[in-house]
Structure 1
Amino acid sequence: MSRSPVAVVQEFLEIVRSGVDPAHASHLMTSSVRAHQVQAENPTTIARTPEEYAEHVRQMMEAYGAFDLRIDELFGSGDKVYARWTQHGRHLGDVDGAAPTGKPIVEVASCVYRVAESRIAEYWIQIDRWGLQAQLTD
């Protein structure tokens, strides 16, 4: 049975991206996902496997500890789903060359996901990198 794109992305955020079970990405992502890093100065597109994405989440957990991911908005149209979230953690590991401080860190991000056959196939992510940098150097 096919699930709605919004349901797929909600499960992905709540289980995989949140760090609850990063390995669950293999159930929610295609074998290779086009990940567009939307940045004004250096837009980049990379391909990620579910295993690589799970490792990416584990690295975030090393940097921010067991963070709390709160979904602020989630809605879809057709095969596209928009999500905006706020992530609360602590600076426990190296982040962009900044040594751990133990201070609280808040990350704000938004993403548009494209879902095909009940799996995430592509996404466009924007992260408030300047706000994160300000917290790391504060």
Structure 2
Amino acid sequence: MTLAITDYERVWIEGLNQGTVSGADEAFAATGIIHIAGAPSPNLSVSEFKKLVQGLLTAFPDLHLTVDDQIVSGDKVATRWTAVGTHTGPLGDNAPTGQPVKFEGLILDRVVDGRVVERWEQWDQMGMLQQLGVV
């Protein structure tokens, strides 16, 4: 059975899997706010979010995300995802390690007119860094 996911999430994930954050312009409202646990700022604009994710794509150019589960209820969408990739680019101050990683995350979106207006996201940053041997 194929998992049915929302159109906006499909556009976002397909872009990420091609190494680009351009899908954000279609998936997120221009005034959207993204809250990510552990991010430098607790309330990111869409452009700040794109910059943060682009850094991850630079560190893991082969990053591949998969939506494992998605539940829609009213204007809320919950998504569980898994990412795999190889650390072949710089990650902040950390030089490439060549190490493969696998990490998971959870998202809760509030969606209006098919676009995310607010996102709460948590993912296993510590587990990813442990796999790279940097913590």
Q: Is the 8 A contact 2:12 2:27 kept in 1?
A: no
Does 2:12 align with 1:16? no
Question: After TM superposition, which residue ranges in structure 1, 4 or more long, deviate above 6 angstroms?
Answer: none
Does 2:125 align with 1:129? yes
Deviation of 1:52 after TM superposition, in Å, equals 4.1
Q: How many residues align?
A: 130
Q: Is there any run of 5+ residues in structure 1 with no aligned partner, and where?
A: 1-5
Counterpart of 1:48 in structure 2 is 45
Counterpart of 1:117 in structure 2 is 113
Deviation of 1:101 after TM superposition, in Å, equals 0.9
Deviation of 1:44 after TM superposition, in Å, equals 5.1
Q: Is the 8 A contact 2:12 2:21 kept in 1?
A: no
Deviation of 1:57 after TM superposition, in Å, equals 3.3
Counterpart of 2:98 in structure 1 is 102
Deviation of 1:98 after TM superposition, in Å, equals 2.4
User: What does the per-residue CA deviation read over 1:78-99, in whole Å, with 9 as the maximum and x for residues that have no partner?
Assistant: 1111111111100112224322
Does 2:84 align with 1:85? no
Give the 5 Å matches for 1:66-81: 66-81=62-77
Q: Is the 8 A contact 2:58 2:91 kept in 1?
A: no
The structure richer in helix per residue is 1
> TM-score, normalized by length of structure 1?
0.79
What fraction of aligned residue pairs are identical, expressed as a percent?
26
Return the alpha-carbon distance in structure 2 between the equivalents of residues 93 and 114 of structure 1. 33
Return the alpha-carbon distance in structure 1 between the equivalents of residues 16 and 115 of structure 2. 14
Q: Is there any run of 5+ residues in structure 2 with no aligned partner, and where?
A: none
Asked which structure has the greater RCO (Cα within 8 Å, sep 6+), the reply is 1
Q: Provide the alpha-carbon RMSD of the alignment.
A: 2.4
Q: Is the 8 A contact 1:98 1:136 kept in 2?
A: no
Counterpart of 1:37 in structure 2 is 36
> TM-score, normalized by length of structure 2?
0.80
Q: Is the 8 A contact 2:76 2:110 kept in 1?
A: yes
**Aligned residue type for 1:120:** V
Return the alpha-carbon distance in structure 2 between the equivalents of residues 37 and 54 of structure 1. 12
